[in-house]
Amino acid sequence: MTTTPPPGTRAWATLLTRTNYLQGALVLHQSLVQHGTRYPFVVFATAELPQVARDILRDRNIRVRDIEYLAPPDEQRKELNEHDRRFEDTWTKLRVFEMVEYERLVLLDSDMLCVRNMDELLEMPMEPDWVAAAHACTCNPRKLAHYPKDWIPENCGHTQARFTVPLAHTAFTKPTHTRLNSGAVVLQPSLALFSRMLAFLHTDPRVATYSFPDQDLLADFFEGRYLPLSYRYNALKTLRYCHAEMWRDEDVKNVHFILKKPWYYQLPQDDPDYETHTWWWAAFEKLQASWGDAPHWDVIEATVNRELRRPDQQ
């Protein structure tokens, strides 16, 4: 008979460095609670996160754990194009591995929405020094020229999946199969492991070539120690039409709002992301309803757009 670990030793974690993802973190936390998680939610934050955001998180019973900003040395930095400049802060996500007050964490991006309980991620068996994550979608549906040339549908790990059963790590046959999406990562913090990651960050020549900073590093650093998860735990909203043969709404547990964020756009009904964005907005309305007389709703409201706007309208 298996037993579940004490809730206090395991947690969900997300990074915040400023207020532009605060609304996302609050919706994510609320959705985890709504779906009955047994485990706490912790925000790890750099000094740039303002006090008002910290007060809001505290008032929602969310722990804030301070960490330092992380980036590779100048000689290891890639000159990011305008499209990828949004990834500049994501190196700091790697700090989650030094949060050794927890024996297990699930790192989640704050542009996510839990739609079904997924506590099993904090309870599943894990080999020491391994991570578990869903495959990166390497289809490149928008045909972006700066993406790797082998990012085509036939090379995508999701193409080999069978509904909720991912491609097994023992069945990897292409380099793209080792690529993971770092939006949801199951990990076991370790100072020794984090020390090796820092050495990799500072010395491995591949770091200067990365287009997806923390994600590419995790894929290379944990090659051979990466357990694929079903897409349902990191359901990129684009998979709903890029991999329609795999996606089932009733299977999904955690939606990932990559690219355009629901809080920035009120999409027209002909947009392929319209329906999944309505899921996030319904959760945001629940958050507002739960706020009551608590202070600082104006801070949250200032981070969202309620006017109809297409993604090409700035």
Give the tens place of pLDDT for each residue, 110-166.
999 999 999 999 999 999 999 999 999 999 988 888 888 999 999 999 999 999 999
pLDDT (0 to 100) of residue 204: 96
Q: How far from 86 is each of 90, 212, 213, 260, 311, CA to CA, in Å? A: 8, 10, 10, 11, 16
CA atoms within 13 A on the CB side of 48: 13
- Cα separation of 273 and 269, whole Å? 9
- Cα separation of 237 and 223, whole Å? 26
Average pLDDT over the chain, rounded to whole? 92
pLDDT (0 to 100) of residue 144: 83
DSSP state at residue 55: H
Q: What is the pLDDT of residues 163-174, one digit of tens each?
A: 999 999 999 999
pTM of the model: 0.94
Domain ranges of the chain: 10-301
Residue ranges of the chain with per-residue pLDDT less than 50: 1-2, 81-83, 85, 314
pLDDT (0 to 100) of residue 81: 47
pLDDT (0 to 100) of residue 2: 42
Q: How far from 56 is each of 19, 37, 245, 291, 298, CA to CA, in Å? A: 11, 21, 41, 11, 11
pLDDT (0 to 100) of residue 82: 47
Question: Hey, which CATH number is domain 10-301, 3.40.50.2300, 3.90.550.10, 2.60.40.10, 3.40.50.720?
Answer: 3.90.550.10
Paired tokens of 144? 């972006």
SS3 content of the chain, % helix, strand, coil (to 5): 40, 15, 45
Please answer whether residues 119 and 194 qualify as being in contact, where contact means their C-beta atoms are separated by less than 8 angstroms: no
